[in-house]
Amino acid sequence: MNELDALAGVDGSAKPPRPRPMVHFTAPIHWLNDPNGVVYRHGEYHMFFQHNPGDPMWAAPHWGHARSPDLVAWTHLPIALAPDSPLDINGCFSGCFVDDDGTPTIIYTAVGSVDGLDDETVRTATSDEQLVHWSKAEHPLLTKPNLDPPLTGYRDPHVWHDGDVWRMIVGGGSTRGGRVLLYESPDLRTWRYIGLMYDHESSDSALTEGRMWECPQLIRLGDVDVLLLSILDDAPRHVVIVEGNLVGDRFVPRRSSLFDAGSSLYAPYAFLAEDGSHRVIGWLRETEPEHDFTQTWAGAMTLPRSIRAHHQHVQVLPSSERISLRSRTLLDPVDRSFADDDASLSLSFAGAAEIHTSILLDPGEVVTLTVTTNASSSGYVDDVVIVVIDVLADRIDLHRHRQSTTVTSSAPSRTPLPTDRHPSGNSEPGRAIDSVTVVDLTVVVDQSIIEISTADGRWLTERLYSHPPNGPLRVSVAGTGTVRAYTVWSLAVVGSPSIHQGRER
C-alpha cells in the first residue's frame, strides 16, 4: 500500500493529513514512542527512540536516532538498532546509553520468542564515535531471574556509575505489582543480581499501583534521590516521581507525586545537559482511538524540561533551551482587569505558540483559558480545551470537549494550584500570607499538543485534534481578577529546517 492509499478512509474517501507539530520532535515517518539513551557527547545531543518505520502503529520496535546542537533543532540519522536476530526478533525495546571506557554502548531490552511467547533479555550493542553503525553482542547480558512470585515483565535497563562499580536497575511486574530489580558489576560485562531495590509493597502511595513498572530511572539530585516510574496496567497510566534516598541497596521513599497530570505523557528519559544539570524528555501518546491512526506519523516528544531539587523537593520546570523557539511576540498586554476589554486577551494563530500569564485572584474568583482547534470564521469548532483556574477549590482543571453535532466532555485532568500565596506586591514562596493568589502559567500549544506548567513545577499535558486537521487555533482568557502579564510568542525552530527532514512537504 502506498502512502496515498494509507491516507484513505474506510469508505475510500481521502482523509486530509494531520499536520505535524512545529516544534515538538516526531519520527521521520510513522510510529514513535519512548525516548532512549539521550546523551550529550562531543558538542551534540543524541536521542534514540522507540520507532516503527513501517507503520503508524506500535510493532517490533527499532531504535530511531537523531542529533541536535540544542535539544530543539533535530536532524534524523539512520536507524541504530533493528529487530534482526533471534534474540530480538520481536523488538529492540527500551534501554540506555553508557560510555564504556571510551566505547559508546547501548544496553537495551531484546525481545525474542520461546515457544511462541516473548522472551525478554538484556543485551548490548557498541559503536564508534559516530554513533551511526552499531554491532550487537552475540549473547544476552542478563536473563530474567526466577523470583517468587514470578516476574510478569522484565525490561528497560537503566545503568549508572556509582563509585567503583556499575549499577543497573530493570523494571518488572508481578501479581503483587511493580518491581525494580538491582544489579551490580565491576566492568559492565559480569553482573550480579542484588535484589529488589524497590517494590510496590515498599510504596505508601496509590500512585504506584499497577501490574508493571516500566522505564525506571534513578536520578541523583544532591541530597535527594529520585525514581521515575512509568506505571502500566492494561495500558500506560501515568508517570510517578518518587522522592527519597538510595540507602545501601534499597530505595527508601519519602514522597510520591505525578510527573504530569495529563493523559498523554509516558516513559520520560532523564539525562545530563551540556552544563551538567538534568533534563527530561517524555513521549506524548496519541489519544485518538487506534482506528483513527491513518496518518503517516504517530507520537511526539515533549519539549525538554529541567528537573532539580529545590528546598528538599523535586521541581520539573520548562528548560532554558526552549527560549530559542520564540520567534515573534504576538501579544503583550499587562496590568489589565478582565472587565477592561476581554477581546484584547483573545488571539488566533497557526502553528505553535507559547503563552505566559500571571494573574492575581481572590478566593471565589475563577479564570478560564480556552484553546479551540479549527476556529474558523464560520464558527465551526471541533476540539476545545478549557483550563479552569479555581482559587476556592485550590486546583487547575483541564477539560477536553469534542464538538460536532453533539458535545461530549472527557473527565478533567487536574493538578493542585501552586502553593505560593502572596500579598500583592510582595512574595514569599510557600507561605499563606493573605487571600490573594498569584497564578503563573506557561502554556505551549503546538498543533495537536498542549503543555501547561505552573511556576512551582506542576504539569498538565494533553493532545487535541481538529477535524479537518488544518484549521487555525484560538486562545482566549476570561474571568475575574487582574492580569499582571499575558504574553504570547509564536514558536519556530529558527534557521534549522533539519527538524523537518523526512517529513511531508
Catalytic sites, residue numbers: 34
Strands 297-298 and 30-41: parallel
Strands of 364-427 (E only): list them: 366-373, 383-390, 395-403, 407-409, 413-416
Distance CA 224, CA 281 (A): 20
Distance CA 67, CA 59 (A): 24
Q: What phi, psi does 451 have (nearest 5°)?
A: -115, 125
The SS3 of residue 3 is helix
Grid cell 501552586 is found at 418
Distance CA 204, CA 447 (A): 39
Q: List the Cα angle 200/201/205 in 5-degree steps.
A: 60
Neighbours of 223 (CB within 10 A): 8
The backbone region for 5, taken as left when phi is positive above 0, alpha when psi lies in -120 to 50, beta otherwise, is alpha
Distance CA 149, CA 211 (A): 13
Neighbours of 214 (CB within 10 A): 24
For residue 344, the number of C-alpha atoms closer than 13 Å in the C-beta half-sphere is 14
